[in-house]
Amino acid sequence: MSLFKQLFIAICVLMLVNFTGSFLVSVESSREQQVNQLRAHAQDTATALGLSLGPHVNDTAMIELMVSSIFDSGYFESIRVSDPATGALLVERTGVPVSGEAPQWFARLVNLAPAQGDAIVSDGWRQAAHVQVVSHALFAVGKLWQSTLGNLLWLTLTGVLCIALGGLLLKRQLRPLDYMVEQSNAIARREFLSLPELPKTPEFRRVVNAMNQMVGKLKALFAEEAARSEVLRAEAYQDNLTGLANRRYFDSQLHARLNVEEQACSGYLLLLRVNDLSGLNQRLGGPRTDQLLVGIAEQLQQLSRGRFILARNRGGEFALLAPGVERQEAQQLAEQLEQMLHSLQQTGASDCTPVAYIGLTRFAPGDAEDELYRTLDSALTQAASQAQPSWAFSELTDQSASVDEGQGWYRLLDQAPEQGRIQLYFQPVVATADPACVLHHKVLARVLDEQGVVIPAGRFLPWLERFGWAARLDAVMLELVLKNLQQQPMKVALSLSGSCIREPQALAGLYAQLQNHRALSAYLTLELDEDQLPDQAALENLTQRLRTLGFGLGLQHFGGRFSMIGNLAKLGLGYLKVDGSYIRGIDQENDKRLFIEAMQRAANSIDLPLIAERVETEGECQVLRSMGISGVQGRLFGEPAPWR
C-alpha cells in the first residue's frame, strides 16, 4: 500500500474516532439536559397544580377539571391527586401521546426515563391532598432526535470537508515522492531527470536534494565514459586531419560488403588520389596542403550526404564506398566530384593540371580486396594518362551486365510478396556467459528467385531502396513474423528500414499492426540501423509509442556514431548491437579492445546491454566474455536458417 493511502486512511480513522467521540459526547450531554428538563417540568407542574388546588380542595369536580386541563396539554404520562393520610385516589389521569418525532429504535437506544414531580395541597395548616405528576419522555426524545440529527449533519459535513482538504494537502506534500519515483523509473529507462524546484518540507528537501545529486553524478559518470569511448573510437578509426574514417575502418566496411552474407552487396568503389602531393608540400607548404586535403574531404562529404562510406586512406588518397550504385550513377558521382574539385584548382596547383585523379571499379560479393585496389590503381593510371576527364573506370572482371538487370530485379521483387517468395530466416543471439542460453532470434529476410535459389538480403536490399519498396518489405516481414509468433511464441528481433520510420503512412501501418497484436509484445523487439535513425524528436516519439504498445526497441550496427549515445540514453532502448567491424579481430588488436571496453563501461553505467555482432572465432568470444558483454551473435553460434 502506498504511503499516500496509508496516511489518508490514518486521517480518515482519526477523523472517524474524533467524529464518533464528539457525537457520543454531544448525545449524552443532550440526554442529560433533557432529563433535567423533564424533572424540572414535572416538579414545576406539580407545584403549580398543588397551589392551584388549595382553594378547591373540597370540590372534587373542580379538582378533576383542573387536572384534566393540565393533562390535556399532552406532555404528561400521568397526574394523580390522592389523600395523603389514606393514600386513596381522588383524581387520576393517565395516557400515552399519540405520536412522536423520533423513531422507536432511537427511543430505546437513549432510554430516556419519565421524570416525576410531587407537591402537597394545603388547607390552612392541614395537608389536604398529595399531587404526583409524571412527565412523558416522548417529546424530550423528539427534541433529542432533532438535536442529534443536527449534530450528525454538522459533524459529517465538517468531517468530509476536513478529509477532502487533508487529502489534497497530503497529495500536495507527497508530490516530491511521486517525482522521486519518476526519477527512479527514468534511471531504469536510461534517463536522467532532476527536480529543479526543491520542496519546502525540510525532510523532503533533503531527500530530493540527495536524489538530484545522485542523478547528476550518474549523468556525469555516463558522459565521462561516453566521451572516453568517443576519443578511443576516433583514435582507432578516424583520420585526425580531415575527420573522415581511416583506412582501417574503411577496409572493415569493405570486407563486410564482400564477405558478410547479411551485408554483402554490389556497388562501386571510388579512389581519389591528389596529384603530386609531395610537390604540393614543397610548393605550398604543409599548412596549405593540409587545407587542400581538408577541402577535398569537405567536398566528398557534401557529395555523399551520409549515403556512402568515406575514408582517407593515407596521404592524399581518399576512398568512397558506394553500395547499391550502378555504373551510370557512379559516373555521375565522378563527374560531380570532378566539378567540385575544380573549385580547388587555384589552391592546389599553379597550372591547369587536375587537383586529383579519380579511379572507379565495381565490386561484388566474393571479390578480393587486394584485387580491387590493384584495379583502382590501374584506373588512376588511366585517368592520369588522359587529358580529359580526370576519372576513369577499370573493371576487375567482365562486368558487362545485362541491360535488363534492373528490370529483372524490379519484376522479381515486385512479385515476391504476392507469390510467397519472401522467407524468414533466424539466427540465434546467445548470452556471452552461457552460449546455450538464447536471448532471442534475429529475423532475416530471404527471397527466392524463379529457380528457387535463396537470395541473401545484401543482394536485394539495395534494389529495394532504389525502387522505394523498403517500407513495403518491412510490412510484409512484420506480418510474417506476427503470424509465426502466433503459431510458435519465441523472442525475436526484427529490423526496420529508415524508410518505414520516415514515411508517415508506413509508420501508421506499423502502429496498426502492432496494436492488433499487443498480446505478442513480450516476444518481439524492433531494431533500427544506426545510420538510418531519424531526428531526435521523431526517435523519441517512436520509442514512446512503442513503449505504450508494449514493444521494445534496439539499435543494430552501432559504433560509428557513438557520440550520440548521450541522446539515446533517455529512450529506454532494450540493447545496443555493436557493429561487427569493431569486433572482428578484437582478440588480436588491443585498441579495438580498449574501445569496446570503454563502450561497455558507458553502457553499463545506464544499465544498457551490449550485444556483439558477427562474432566468428572463439578468441573473439573469450575477449567479449571477459569484458562482460551481455550477448553475442554470429556464425560461431549458428548460421541463419529457416525455423524448424
Average pLDDT over residues 43-70: 78
Region of residue 305 (phi > 0: left; psi between -120 and 50: alpha; otherwise: beta): left
Average pLDDT over residues 623-628: 92
Vertex 66 angle, CA 65 and 72, to 5°: 85
pLDDT class of 480 with cuts at 50, 70, 90: very high
Vertex 570 angle, CA 567 and 573, to 5°: 100
Position of cell 528457387?
452
pLDDT, tens digit, for every residue of 277-294? 888 888 878 888 888 889
Would you state the pLDDT for residue 631? 94
Would you state the pLDDT for residue 177? 72
Most confident of 152-156, 306-310, 489-493: 489-493
With a cut of 50, say whether residue 211 has pLDDT above it: yes
Outline where DSSP puts E strands in 497-635.
524-529, 552-558, 576-578, 610-612, 631-633
Position of cell 397544580?
49
Would you state the pLDDT for residue 349? 45
With a cut of 90, say whether residue 320 has pLDDT above it: yes
Average pLDDT over residues 200-221: 76
pLDDT class of 347 with cuts at 50, 70, 90: very low
Would you state the pLDDT for residue 510? 92
Would you state the pLDDT for residue 65? 81
The ranges assigned to domains in the chain are 3-170, 176-192+200-233, 245-393, 405-637
pLDDT, tens digit, for every residue of 245-267? 889 888 888 888 887 766 767 88
Outline where DSSP puts E strands in 73-138.
76-82, 89-94, 115-123, 126-135
Would you state the pLDDT for residue 563? 62
Most confident of 167-171, 219-223, 614-618: 614-618
| Residue scoring higher pLDDT (592 or 34) | 592
Cell reading at 622: 573469450
**Residue 610's closest CA among 591, 592, 626, 624?**
624
With a cut of 80, say whether residue 189 has pLDDT above it: no
What is the second-level CATH architecture of the domain 3-170?
Answer: 2-Layer Sandwich (3.30)
pLDDT, tens digit, for every residue of 519-552? 999 999 999 988 788 888 888 889 889 989 999 9
- Percentage of residues in the chain having pLDDT higher than 90: 19
Would you state the pLDDT for residue 348? 45
**Residue 227 DSSP SS3:** helix
Q: Which superfamily does CATH assign the domain made up of 405-637 to?
A: EAL domain (3.20.20.450)
Contacts of 587 (CB under 8 A, 6+ apart): 593, 617, 619, 620, 622, 623
| Residue scoring higher pLDDT (360 or 97) | 360
3-state secondary structure 232-276: HHHHHHECCCCCCEEHHHHHHHHHHHHHCCCCCCCEEEEEEEECC
pTM of the full predicted structure?
A: 0.65
Q: Which of 67-76, 242-251, 295-304 has the lowest mean pLDDT?
A: 67-76
- Sort strands 317-323 and 267-274 into parallel, antiparallel or unpaired: antiparallel
Average pLDDT over residues 105-109: 74
With a cut of 50, say whether residue 156 has pLDDT above it: yes
In angstroms, the CA 565 to CA 578 distance is: 12
With a cut of 90, say whether residue 119 has pLDDT above it: no
With a cut of 60, say whether residue 400 has pLDDT above it: no
Question: How many residues are there in the chain?
Answer: 644
**Residue 506's closest CA among 538, 473, 483?**
473
pLDDT class of 140 with cuts at 50, 70, 90: confident
The yes-or-no answer to whether 3-170 and 405-637 have a common fold is: no
In angstroms, the CA 562 to CA 555 distance is: 12
Average pLDDT over residues 376-394: 87
In angstroms, the CA 341 to CA 194 distance is: 50
Q: What is the mean pLDDT of the chain?
A: 82
With a cut of 70, say whether residue 405 has pLDDT above it: no
pLDDT, tens digit, for every residue of 563-591? 666 666 667 788 999 988 889 889 888 88
Would you state the pLDDT for residue 625? 92
pLDDT class of 99 with cuts at 50, 70, 90: low
Q: What's the CATH number of domain 245-393, 3.30.70.270, 3.40.50.300, 3.30.43.10, 3.40.50.261?
A: 3.30.70.270
